[in-house]
Every structure is written in C-alpha cells, then in structure tokens.
Structure 1
Amino acid sequence: MSFQKRILVVVPTTNGPLRLRALKPRPGLPASAAFADGDYRPLPWSGDYARLAIPGGPLSRLTGADLPPHELRLSGSFDAGRSWEAPICLAHGLAAQGHGLAAEPAQADLILWATGAVDLDLAVIPGDYALLDKIERSRPLFAEARQAVLAVLLPDGPERAEAEAAIRALGRAHPPLILPSSSVSAALRALALPADSAAAPPAARFRRSMFPVGAAALACVTLAGAYGIARLPSSASQDLPVKDGTGTLATAAKTDPAEAQPKPSLPPVKVEELRAPPGSSCRRVAFGADPPERRAVALEAEGRLAATRLSSDLCGLAIRAEAADASLEIGPELRGASLPPVRLSDRAQAYFLKEAGRQNLVYAVQVIPRAGPPGARLVHALTR
C-alpha cells in the first residue's frame, strides 16, 4: 500500500481556506488536540475536537476502533464555529482507510473541500454556512491544483443550490464530485477511493474503482449478445416482409436516442447576455449610445442556466418573465453588482454590471406570478 501524500483536506472559513497539514497519532498527548502551524498552544476549539475523538465517541464509531490521542495541525487558526467538524471527520475516515494527506495543492491528486457541523451520529447538520463566500475565498487555492480532482461536501441550507452551481462553473480539468451531504459516512462511501491506487492519476484511479462493475456489465452484454445471435432466424427468412393484421406492410418504429433523453422543462423566465457590439464598449452601451447584442442564455439543467463568462464585452444581463403580469425576484448577488435596473422595450429588466462588480458570482431568479405559488428558482453563475 502506498502512503504518498495525495489528498488535500481543506477547511474553508470566511477568512479564507485552511489546509490540514497533519493528522497523526500522538501517544504523548493526554487527549487529541488541534494546533496551528508553528504553535504549541491548542486552538480554542481543541476541546471539542478531543470530545469528538474520545474513545467510544463519534469518530471511533466511524473508524471502527477507539482512536489514540491525535495531533491535528492546520495551516492557520480561527476562534469559533463548528464547520470544521465535517472535513476533519472525513480526514479521519480517509486516514483509517490508509490514504495519505497532502500538505500542499501541488502534491494533491484530490482536493477535499467540505464544511459543516455534525451530530452524535456524524450526520451533517443543515444551516447557513456562508458557502458562496467560502467558495469565493477558495478560488486561489483551487487554481493552484487545476488538474486535481475536486470533491465537495455542501450542507443543505439557503445557499446550497447556488454554491453547487458555482463549484460546477469553476472550469476544472475534471468534473467536480458533489458528495452526499446527509452524513460523513455517506460522503466517504461516495469517495470510494481504493487504498492501493494512491499513486494512480486521479481519473484512472476513479475509473479503476468502477472496473468490477464495468466488467460485470460487459459480461452480461456478452452473454446477452450470444443468446440473441443464437435466436436469429435463418438467412432464408431474414428478408421476408412483415405484415400486420390488415395485410399492410408494417414498419419498425425507430427511436432517436436523443429524443429518449429527458429534457429540462422551459423556465418561465428568459435571461440574456447584454454584450457590447464590435467597436463599441460597455460604457457606450450603458449610456444608450449603442444598442447591446442580446444573446440568450441556455438552460443547462433543471433549475440551472449555463454559466456566463465575464469577458470584457459582457455589459450585463436582461431578465424577463414570460408572463406579462408576473414579477421577478432577483438575488442580491446580481443586484449588488449592478447599476439600478433599466426597463427595456420588451419588458425585460437590464442589469448593467458595475466596474467593481465584475467578479465571480452566483445568483438566483424566481418568477412571482400574480396568482398562484412562486415558480422554481433558476440559478445562474457569472465566472471569469
């Protein structure tokens, strides 16, 4: 088994992400304790970590054995909060499986970014964990290891959908792994890292973990194919036309695989990019000197629009409810980054971005009809 440092565990905070530098048994300690780099004094929440790791405590049930005292060392410190619990529990679970930890992004095949408090059974507690703020502050760290697989645990809460859209819009080399947020155990099962493949490239490692399933499926297909060949009619009868009960030649219905795929339902709102035409600028567009080019934003999945790139010619967004008597609820992220909305001739509201507001953001839009319940929220990310 290889113990190369491959997994970087990130503890996001509203002051920036912290990196798990070390997690190792320390028999000389009276109890498990948490420290910051370069400091011998336990962190303020170290007592909570000791209770989490106490013999017979939550972590012992996760790992299947009582833990000896451990030294937990982070790249920095914070004073309060419980959102460190989920990533640290996941780190203990991975260590119990024999996986090593990376101290720096450049060493990592996989970055584990998780936040959230846990209960006695290590279920992740829903809440407001400032997910969007933590993601934004983690972008430089993500950029240091673009080739690493990114696994993310996002607890349920008010920013859960927007945060997932922001993670998916990062544009990494490998699609992010969105882990189940119900419990630490469920997240560990979803990771399913084979302990003997720590040195394999990330994509190959995850493909290898799927090999037994793929091999079984291939065997089933092979047997089914052999059975089907054995049941084929002889060549003498293959070209005979088939007639239905009226004597009319019957034609076999063909199904287009693309038509069989479920398509997301059209949302009751239209979002368009407002871009400066060639030879113009967003300043001229915003002041009405030139009309913007309007480009519809495609629906990527149910409840989510395709991400919009914050290129220099993007001046803003036009948003319109399809129903004339409906109103719109626009997320504060877009409203705060834009000038006051301008009503266009087709009833759309134009949100022109402020110069200081041209930053990565994720917002939601919701249609509020005059009668009936509000429509589903539609999430849209603006990314560099």
Structure 2
Amino acid sequence: MTPPAILIIIPTTAGPLRLRALTPRSGLPASAAFADGDYRPLPWSADYARLCAAGGPLARLVGHEVGPHELRLSGSFDAGRSWEVPVGLAHGLTARGHRLVAEPAEADLILWATGAVDLDLAVLPGDYALLDKIERSRSLLAEAPRARLAVLLPDGPERAAAETAVRALGRPEMLPGKGLTAALDALTRPADPPVAAEAPPPARRLRRLALPVGALAAAGVAAMVAFTPRSVPSLSTKEPAATFAATTAAEPPAREPGTAAATAAKPPDADPAPAPKAPAAPMIHVEELRAPAGSSCRRVAFGADAPERRPVPVETADRFAPTRLAPDLCGIAVRAEAPASRIEVGPELRAAALPPVRLADGAQGYFLREGGRQNLVYAVQAVTEAGAASGPRLVHALTR
C-alpha cells in the first residue's frame, strides 16, 4: 500500500505555516531552517541544528544520525519553540518512508501539531494559544476538505476547549499528546487490511442416476459346413441380434397422501438488543438566544426585540450538544430545574458576555459581547443556597 502524501502545518499566532520541503544537505555545516524565497537562516535555526545534532533528540526518534538538513517553510516567525513537535514528526515520517507535500490539494493527510519537546522527546505542557491557532488555520484546512486530519494538542489550559473546537471540524484523528514517539507510531500504524468476504458455498448439483432396465440378448451362432466332392469348403456365419434397453432417470418416490415433507425446526427469535438509553434529563436547562428574522443581536441585547429561545439538547450525561456561533446567535440562557437552586456559570462564558440579565421566567441571560464571539467551553452547575452541588456539572461548547 502506498503511504499517504502528508502536508505538515506549523501553527503560529500569526497564522499557519506550511512545511514546504525537508531535504538532506551534506554540504551544510549544520541543519538550518529557511523561509520560502530567502537564503538567510531563520533566527531559531541554531535550535533546529541542536535538535538534529549527533546524539540529539531526533537521532533517538529516527534510530540513526540525522545529518544536516534544509528545512524550508512557507513563511517566517521570530521566536518560540512550538515548531519542535511538527518538525520532529516531519523527520520521523520521512525516515519511515512517507512523502511530504507542500500544497493542500496534494495531501491525503494533513498533520496539525504544535508544542515543544524535551531531551526525551516528551511534549512539554504549556500555554500554546491553541484556540487562536485553530481559528487562524480554518481557511487553510478548508482548502483540502477530502484530506484526513491528524491533530496533536499538548497539555495546557486550553487543551479541552481546543479539542472541542477541533472535533467540531468533523474529521480529526487525535494523536497521543504526551510524546513524539507515540504520536509517530500512531501516524504510521498501517491500517487493518480489509476482511475478505467469505465465499458462498458451492451450489449443490443433483446427479441423476441411470439404471439399466434391459439385458443383452444374444442369439446363438449356427454354422453349417457342407462338404461336396471337388468343391471349396464354404463357411456361412450369422451375427447375433443384440438389444439394449435405454437408461431412464430415477424418479423420486411418490409421496403418500396425507404426509408432508419434514421441515427444519425454526430457531427461537434472539432477544433484541436493548435500545441505548437516552441521557438523563439535566438539572439545568440551556437555551440559545437568537435574533428573530429581520432583527439583530444589538436590538435583542438592548431589549428592542425579544430573542427566540431554542433549547440545547443533551448529548451525554455530562455534556450538552455544541452550539455554532452563527451570526444570529446573541447569547445563552441558563436556568435551574429546581426553584430553590441557583446556577454557577463558568468564567469562560461570563468573560465573553455582558453582565447577566434576569429573563421573564427567571433564567439568566448571557448576551455575547461584540469581541466575545470566539470558540469557548464553559461549565454550569446547579447549587443550593448553601453552596452545595445539587446536580451534575454539565459542559457546553460554543464553536464556529
């Protein structure tokens, strides 16, 4: 099987870069990184050379000395170490025979990875601005809608929200985020071969038996020899007549009146598989606040028009279905099922919204700020007046 052609994306807070080429260069004194169209090494090339040095981290990843390489990127950035994970995986992929491509249209697989590594190739946790990088990568990923997408997210404060945002893209393969070796193994693991369909049993052929019903009848041979004087003796013979009976096909025996052919006993019906249980009704109700047709979120937020309220369904026992940040989404309303309960809302939603307002039915309305329409994940929980939890903690994501 031909390995997939892979496009490697190096996300940055200024936008995604593409790894355009990774080429061995025996004439270079050390490995160096360059931007497209520039002969000057990038400022962090010295760190890249250390990563590729004899006995360095990449030598342990690929199993041999790496040697000097030219790393060519579609653009430049000045500082940071989050390039180490995607560049390290690029070396591992080429060492295992995979082909790297520079354009989304050429890719069978897109690798989106970020993070720094230590001497043992473990991915270092940290604040990598994951949500910002994902948002800035959307247009590039949209250029290859049929390509598979593999994503490595390091641990950090935004990892959970970033994974939700990535899964909203609809096609991610999440790679192990703890170390390069496990991620590389997951990327290069061969797919299971398709299971061949079992050949149908050969059709039975009915053989018809031919039975002889006649016998061979032979006539005797009469010979008469007549001797006459001064004559040549003559011999007269007569061939016997033989009769052969034609073979006929055996017919099945006639069925006696009142009898029936035996039939196989019908096995009892198997018990039907139990239907999956629907998620339990939550102690909290979440609704989308949307601008009605012909209105706007500004008019809704200032009370000129009433919002349309659409319930958010429960996806699992601890999670609501994600809500898309469509232009008509003005905010979120939350309310507790028990009248004596109050609701604690996570800081992610509070920071993205105006101060909450009390709606007519007692729900809290959180109208999004103009600059708060970003991917986020927040939690809600019903608590008693004494502050004790009175229901499960539920998670809800807003995604583009």
TM value normalised by structure 2: 0.74
Partner of 1:378: 395
Q: Could you say if the C-alpha distance between residues 301 and 38 of structure 1 is closer, same or farther in structure 2, counting changes exceeding 3 Å?
A: farther
2:40 is equivalent to residue 61 of structure 1: no
Q: Give the distance between the partners of 1:77 and 1:166, measured in 2 at CA.
A: 26
**Helix, strand or coil at the partner of 1:41:** coil
Partner of 2:375: 361
2:283/2:391 contact within 8 Å kept: no
Partner of 2:174: 178
Q: Give the distance between the partners of 1:331 and 1:178, measured in 2 at CA.
A: 27
Greater helix fraction, Structure 1 or Structure 2:
1
The structural deviation recorded for 1:87 is 0.7
1:165/1:381 contact within 8 Å kept: no
Q: Give the distance between the partners of 1:364 and 1:110, measured in 2 at CA.
A: 31
2:285 is equivalent to residue 292 of structure 1: no
2:225 is equivalent to residue 211 of structure 1: no
- 1:330 partner amino acid: G
Q: Could you say if the C-alpha distance between residues 311 and 127 of structure 1 is closer, same or farther in structure 2, counting changes exceeding 3 Å?
A: closer
The structural deviation recorded for 1:354 is 3.7
The structural deviation recorded for 1:118 is 1.1
**Matched pairs, number:** 336
The structural deviation recorded for 1:330 is 2.8
Q: Could you say if the C-alpha distance between residues 368 and 128 of structure 1 is closer, same or farther in structure 2, counting changes exceeding 3 Å?
A: farther
The structural deviation recorded for 1:109 is 1.7
Q: Could you say if the C-alpha distance between residues 37 and 304 of structure 1 is closer, same or farther in structure 2, counting changes exceeding 3 Å?
A: farther
The structural deviation recorded for 1:288 is 3.0
Mean CA deviation greater in 148-157 or 276-285: 276-285
1:162/1:379 contact within 8 Å kept: no
Q: Give the distance between the partners of 2:68 and 2:391, measured in 1 at CA.
A: 52
The structural deviation recorded for 1:183 is 1.1
The structural deviation recorded for 1:29 is 0.9
Q: Give the distance between the partners of 2:95 and 2:279, measured in 1 at CA.
A: 41
Q: How does 1:118-133 map to 2 (within 5 A)?
A: 118-133=117-132
Q: Give the distance between the partners of 1:307 and 1:56, measured in 2 at CA.
A: 47
- 1:109 partner amino acid: D
The structural deviation recorded for 1:79 is 2.1
Q: How does 1:322-341 map to 2 (within 5 A)?
A: 322=337, 324-332=340-348, 334-341=349-356
Q: Give the distance between the partners of 1:185 and 1:313, measured in 2 at CA.
A: 45
Q: How does 1:141-160 map to 2 (within 5 A)?
A: 141-160=140-159
Partner of 2:363: 348
Q: Give the distance between the partners of 1:3 and 1:276, measured in 2 at CA.
A: 49
The structural deviation recorded for 1:165 is 0.7
CA deviations over 1:106-134 (Å, ceiling 9, x no partner): 22221111011112221111221111111
Q: How does 1:193-212 map to 2 (within 5 A)?
A: 194=190, 209-211=191-193
Partner of 1:191: 187
Q: Could you say if the C-alpha distance between residues 376 and 180 of structure 1 is closer, same or farther in structure 2, counting changes exceeding 3 Å?
A: farther
1:273/1:296 contact within 8 Å kept: yes
- Tell me which structure has the larger Cα radius of gyration: 2
- 1:363 partner amino acid: V
Between the two structures, name the one with larger relative contact order (CA 8 Å, sep ≥ 6).
1
Extract unaligned runs of 5+ from structure 2: 201-261
Partner of 1:255: 273
Q: Could you say if the C-alpha distance between residues 157 and 312 of structure 1 is closer, same or farther in structure 2, counting changes exceeding 3 Å?
A: closer
Q: Give the distance between the partners of 1:316 and 1:95, measured in 2 at CA.
A: 47
2:34/2:71 contact within 8 Å kept: yes
Partner of 1:16: 15
Q: Give the distance between the partners of 2:369 and 2:47, measured in 1 at CA.
A: 44
Q: Give the distance between the partners of 2:284 and 2:324, measured in 1 at CA.
A: 20
TM value normalised by structure 1: 0.77
Q: Give the distance between the partners of 2:371 and 2:181, measured in 1 at CA.
A: 42
Q: Give the distance between the partners of 1:42 and 1:271, measured in 2 at CA.
A: 53
**Sequence identity (%):** 62
Q: Give the distance between the partners of 2:142 and 2:298, measured in 1 at CA.
A: 31
Q: Could you say if the C-alpha distance between residues 373 and 160 of structure 1 is closer, same or farther in structure 2, counting changes exceeding 3 Å?
A: farther
2:314 is equivalent to residue 318 of structure 1: no
CA deviations over 1:246-274 (Å, ceiling 9, x no partner): xxxxx975432x32xx7656555332111
2:320/2:394 contact within 8 Å kept: no
Q: Could you say if the C-alpha distance between residues 382 and 325 of structure 1 is closer, same or farther in structure 2, counting changes exceeding 3 Å?
A: same
2:36/2:74 contact within 8 Å kept: yes
Q: Could you say if the C-alpha distance between residues 379 and 312 of structure 1 is closer, same or farther in structure 2, counting changes exceeding 3 Å?
A: closer
**Helix, strand or coil at the partner of 1:129:** coil
- 1:362 partner amino acid: L
- What is the CA RMSD across the aligned residues, in angstroms? 3.1
